[in-house]
Amino acid sequence: MSETKKLATQDIFQKAHNFTRADEVKALGLYPYFKPLEATDGTIVEIEGQEVIMAGSNNYLGLTNDPRTIKAAQDALTKYGTGCTGSRYLNGTLDIHLELEDKLAEFMGKEGCVLFSTGYQTNEGAIQTIAGRNDIIFSDRDNHACIVVGTQVSNAKTVRYKHNDMDQLRKFLEQADPKAGKIIVTDGVFSMSGTLAKVPELVALAKEFNARLYLDDAHAVGVVGEGGRGSASVFGLTDEVDLISGTFSKSFASLGGFLVGDRTVIEYIRHHSPAHIFSASMPPANVATVLTALEILKEETWRLDRLEEISIYMRTELEKLGFNVWTSQSPIIPVVIGDMMDCFKFWKDLFKEGVYANAVIPPAVPQGQSLLRTSYMASHTDDHLDRILEAFRKVGIKHGIIDSNGHSAS
């Protein structure tokens, strides 16, 4: 190879060598990611030897440390061992996998259910399977990354509409080939803003334009709706939604995901989705945990009531302090800071005050909209909540985000 050709060759690792931002933030002592939890009871965690209130977990029902879910996992380990060492398609199906699918289908009011090994795989694997070369996917711009990847790896055309903008969605549907298969895909509760999808409008548009409707209820099942049945049930429209996905890594205190819908559609996905066929199945302890969490959700509805009470209280009080929390409608409550480095500094001082939240920066949020993503659990006490609010008040005033009179300083 000539010297000229050698010089022209691009090292595929160059992008990695050029990535220095993480090291730069670490050098400033402001790096907020990959913090190891050294101990946890759910609401209180130990990080770097300091006990802090966890205000950034998706453990919405507070079941990760519940003695009942722990015992269910331990019993499953004793009976089935630590893993299935195969896919559901071949040697990795246990009787409890089938039991969970049946119970979830019944709980969600649908004919069929299929499990996936993670929530991420659920959307990635289902979307690319159901939407083909001659189809069109209409996807909300604020959808979770797993939905975006699912659209990218499918052979379908993808049209992205502005967040919750039903007028633009209608325009795109009107412009679409009337002969093409169509599916609208959206988060039910959006993971950064905490807002609900406009399910009634989506149902109406899907009917008008002969499209199918797919809701990702990862942050909705076990959180909102009748008995925790998700975003469609908030509006009494579960029967009008074709496919609903969910995850077990949040309210169900485990790991894995599921999709419910008409039996024939679910069976097609079960037999054609690469993410289902070529992934090892959910380990038995994970499945047993979800089965127990599902029973607790059905029996202890006070957890949902408490979660709603906490959500309303924290939104109201953070707004009273002068913070911008966008238009949250769930236990996910963003606190907008603005500049990325200001957000990191705010996160650091909040941690010093004994509160852990999640620093979220572009591209997960728009430029200039870096924020602290807070989320709450049914197991948070009133004392926890007031300590979180006091920490935000002190740090907010220190950084000039709010003033002492409860007004935004911007």
Q: What is the DSSP string of 148-178?
A: HHHHHHSSSEEEEE-TT-HHHHHHHHHHS-T
CB of 347 closer than 8 Å to CB of 374: no
d(CA 278, CA 331): 35
Average pLDDT over residues 237-260: 98
User: Tens digits of per-residue pLDDT, 203-240?
Assistant: 999 999 999 999 999 999 999 999 999 999 999 999 99
The yes-or-no verdict on residue 193 having pLDDT over 90 is: yes
Q: What is the pTM of this model?
A: 0.95
The runs of H, that is alpha helices, within 209-262 are 231-234
Residues 36-46: tens digit of each pLDDT:
999 999 999 99
Catalytic residue among 250, 345, 380, 384: 250
Does the pLDDT at position 293 exceed 60? yes
Express as a percent the part of the chain with pLDDT over 70: 98
Burial class (CB in 10 A: 0-12, 13-18, 19+), 319: middle
- Looking at residue 6, its pLDDT comes to 56
**Given a cut of 70, is residue 4 above it in pLDDT?**
no
Rounded Cα gap, residues 251 and 221, in angstroms: 7
Evaluate whether 292 touches 298 at the Cβ level (below 8 Å): no
Instruction: Give me the residue label for tokens 């061992």.
Output: 81
Question: Cβ contacts of residue 164 below 8 Å, gap of 6+?
Answer: 140, 142, 195, 197, 198
Q: How far apart are CA 297 and CA 271, in angstroms?
A: 30
Active site includes 330?
Answer: no
Could you confirm whether 157 is annotated as catalytic? no
Q: Which of 251, 238, 246, 191 is nearest to 216 (CA)?
A: 246
Question: Active site includes 407?
Answer: no
Question: Predicted confidence band at 405 (pLDDT cuts at 50, 70, 90)?
Answer: confident
The CATH label, of 3.90.1150.10, 2.40.37.10, 3.40.50.300, 1.10.10.200, for the domain at 20-54+301-398 is 3.90.1150.10
Domains 20-54+301-398 and 67-299 share a fold: no
In tens, the pLDDT along 329-362 reads 999 999 999 999 999 999 999 999 999 999 999 9
| Residue-level pLDDT at 406 | 76
Catalytic residue among 110, 144, 198, 219: 219
Catalytic residue among 117, 139, 154, 191: 191
Residue 2 vs residue 103, higher pLDDT: 103
Q: Does domain 67-299 have CATH number 3.30.70.20?
A: no
Tell me, what amino acid is at 258?
A: F
pLDDT at 9: 82
Per the prediction, the chain carries an average pLDDT of 96
Type and span of the H or E element at 47: strand 44-47
Residue-range domain boundaries for the chain? 20-54+301-398, 67-299
